[in-house]
Structure 1
Amino acid sequence: MKQEIRIGGNEKNQRLDKFLRKLFKNVELNLIFRDIRKGNIRVNGKKQKINYKIQENDILRIFGYYYKLGNDSQGIDTEEYVEYNKPKICYEDSNILVVVKDIDTLVHSDGNRDTKDLSKDVRMYLSKKKDINLNNNLIFNPSPVNRLDRNTYGLVIFGKNNLATRELCELIKARIISKYYRVLVEGKIKDGIYTAYIKKDSKLNKSIVYKYKIPESKEIQMEVRVIDTNGVVSLLEINLITGRSHQIRSHLQFLNNPIVGDIKYGNKGLKNYFFNKYGVQNQLLFAYKLSFNGIDENMSINYLNSKVIVAPLPSQFKRIIKQEFKITI
């Protein structure tokens, strides 16, 4: 069995073996290595090395009955998914898309068709817009480069092509994209950078914070700036320096400043007060701002240097701040 695959813009500049491993997930890597060496896999009619970087418009000729492209790879059934939620867009260009994730929405699907799925909504939006033909992409899927908890509202960044997604992931890892949160917490806290160690308890599905490093724990850091306080609660801006699961929520609990409305890490009594007074049902934590600084000039997205993207805060949160602190944000 012979098949031909033309390399598109979203597949270029990848190692031949790594590309094939992503495309044919059910084929063992040593089998792919063997077929490249023997010439059962050729590029533009020629044998190539395993580490050859594939280029746009390269033609791969593949011999072997076990190389089968799945029918459910990256495409989505637009007929089945007509009732999608159009994403709330804060910024978009040819490389990236920044959208607002609502409360009670997952960044990625949990397999339940009834659950709100931001990634699927974004893929549908781009498909309907004809920016991307998802069914023609071999291994690329528009995907988020940062995550938020299900009940955290805020900004999520998606790459619209393979190169931009890789570069965004590098920037996140290097902490070149700064992520800012607005949050309402119990009590008072001082401005400053707070460092601790975190470990995930899978059984409890909770992150536990420690003052000192313990086995399997990871260092966490956040910078806190107090915007206002009335003694009972404080409005903070947090610059998230590291990004771990439930980091802000568990770290603030550890500091005795739990987030108002947080069911898992918060103060039940304070949550009930804000539920009765304002109807608060989720943690008052909002990923409201992104700042891009220090992007390498050789990157395709270097034009984003000095770019700041801000999401509008929910009206409920604005009303709480106005009544509790007599200020407008």
Structure 2
Amino acid sequence: MDETESEPTRWQVEAEQNGERIDKLLSDALDGVSRTQIQQWIKDGHARVDGRNVKPNYKLSGGQVVDLAIPDPEPLDIAAENIPLDVVYEDGDVIVINKPRGLVVHPAPGHYSGTLVNALMHHCKDLSGINGVMRPGIVHRIDKDTSGLLMIAKNDQAHASLAEQLKEHSVTRKYVALVHGNLQHDHGTIDAPIGRDSYDRKLYTVTDKNSKHAVTHFAVLERFDGYTLVELKLETGRTHQIRVHLKFIGHPLVGDPSYGRSKGMTMDGQALHAQILGFTHPRTGERLEFEAPIPEDMADLLHRLRNL
């Protein structure tokens, strides 16, 4: 092949993984890489089972050996844009950004500009290529209308380390959120699987069908008349996880355009802020933790509630 590859990574298929699709096994093993990207690698022959090329839906048997040689990244062709960034921390391996509400994290078909990735391309040229040309450096995401902390990898070694920490649940991710209603308990855990909504494929819901395990821990910080300020700690990082879980327990986010309520307090985007982010530095092994203050629009909303 014309493309050059990295040295392959090898997995031995365990007995309990018998019958599992190869794209699912690799997706679970590489938490920071999209399943679509993994499927493309399999189609391009970068993943092999017992030395043979297979299709993304190939079902594995216990004892088989899976090799994945990640291809060298394509040259990045996303336009650099001079969009201001709130850089909380930066070194040769990692950048931590405090993302404002309203900023999309990465380009997508039909939306190639004005994103965090465009801003990062202007800020620095050395970003990891594991997630392809559309998502350089992006290890994890937060929604467009969620504010707060994100870690970005500057090289593939850092990306692999941070993605593994996410998979092992050793990354600290704490959010603060304002929800409708008064939670009955001061703290608790929402353990409910999440999958796509069968009625609207753009949304997600709690379901046992084609779902992924999802766990969110919560603790009440402050109570108001008809609203509650909570801290949320992610154990897993599924798409729209916090928003779906809070709707599931009957306390949707204030301002959530997809899962919230149309009546009562509102704001431009959901009242959800990724406040604390902690991880082990991929090169030095030092434990780092960062905190971003609640943004002004959400702070104003809390001030109004406190003075009712």
The answer to whether TM tops 0.5 is yes
**Aligned residue among 130, 150, 159 for 1:165:** 159
Does the CA contact (< 8 Å) of 2:128 and 2:159 recur in 1? Answer: no
Larger displacement relative to structure 2 (227-236 or 82-91): 82-91
Cα distance, 1:28–1:161 mapped onto 2, change above 3 Å: closer
Percent of aligned positions with the same letter in both sequences? 26
**Aligned residue among 86, 89, 102 for 2:87:** 89
How far has the Cα of 1:254 moved from its partner?
1.0
Write out aligned runs for 1:53-202 (5 A).
73-76=74-77, 81=79, 83-112=81-110, 115-127=113-125, 132=126, 142-189=136-183, 190=185, 191-201=187-197
1:302 aligns with 2:285: yes
- Provide the rounded CA distance (Å) in 1 between the counterparts of 2:102 and 2:114: 7
Write out aligned runs for 1:211-222 (5 A).
214-222=208-216
> Per-residue displacement from partner, 1:43-85 (whole Å, max 9, x unpaired)?
xxxxxxxx8x99xxxxxxxxxxxxxx99xx32347xxx46420
- Report the RMSD for the aligned CA atoms in angstroms: 3.7
Give the 4+ runs in structure 1 shifted more than 6 A: none
Does the CA contact (< 8 Å) of 1:86 and 1:122 recur in 2? Answer: no
Does the CA contact (< 8 Å) of 1:209 and 1:251 recur in 2? Answer: yes
SS of the aligned residue for 1:268 comes to: coil
How far has the Cα of 1:203 moved from its partner?
5.2
How far has the Cα of 1:291 moved from its partner?
1.9
How far has the Cα of 1:109 moved from its partner?
0.4
Unaligned runs of 5+ in 2: 10-37, 47-66
TM-score (structure 1 length as normaliser): 0.66
Does the CA contact (< 8 Å) of 1:183 and 1:285 recur in 2? Answer: yes
> Per-residue displacement from partner, 1:144-165 (whole Å, max 9, x unpaired)?
1111112111211111111111
How far has the Cα of 1:166 moved from its partner?
0.6
> Per-residue displacement from partner, 1:86-142 (whole Å, max 9, x unpaired)?
321111111100112222222110234574211121122103xxxx3999x9x8984
Q: How many residues align?
A: 255
Does the CA contact (< 8 Å) of 1:262 and 1:284 recur in 2? Answer: yes
1:14 aligns with 2:1: no
Larger displacement relative to structure 2 (85-94 or 170-179): 85-94
Cα distance, 1:119–1:29 mapped onto 2, change above 3 Å: same
Q: Counterpart of 1:269 in structure 2: which amino acid? A: K
How far has the Cα of 1:180 moved from its partner?
0.6
Report the counterpart of residue 314 of structure 1 in structure 2. Answer: 295
Larger displacement relative to structure 2 (146-155 or 172-181): 146-155
Cα distance, 1:183–1:215 mapped onto 2, change above 3 Å: same
SS of the aligned residue for 1:165 comes to: helix
**Aligned residue among 256, 263, 284 for 1:262:** 256
TM-score (structure 2 length as normaliser): 0.71
Q: Counterpart of 1:221 in structure 2: which amino acid? A: V
**Aligned residue among 200, 203, 207 for 1:206:** 203
Report the counterpart of residue 19 of structure 2 in structure 1. Answer: none
1:242 aligns with 2:236: yes
- Provide the rounded CA distance (Å) in 1 between the counterparts of 2:291 and 2:229: 18
Q: Counterpart of 2:189 in structure 1: which amino acid? A: I
Does the CA contact (< 8 Å) of 2:191 and 2:215 recur in 1? Answer: yes
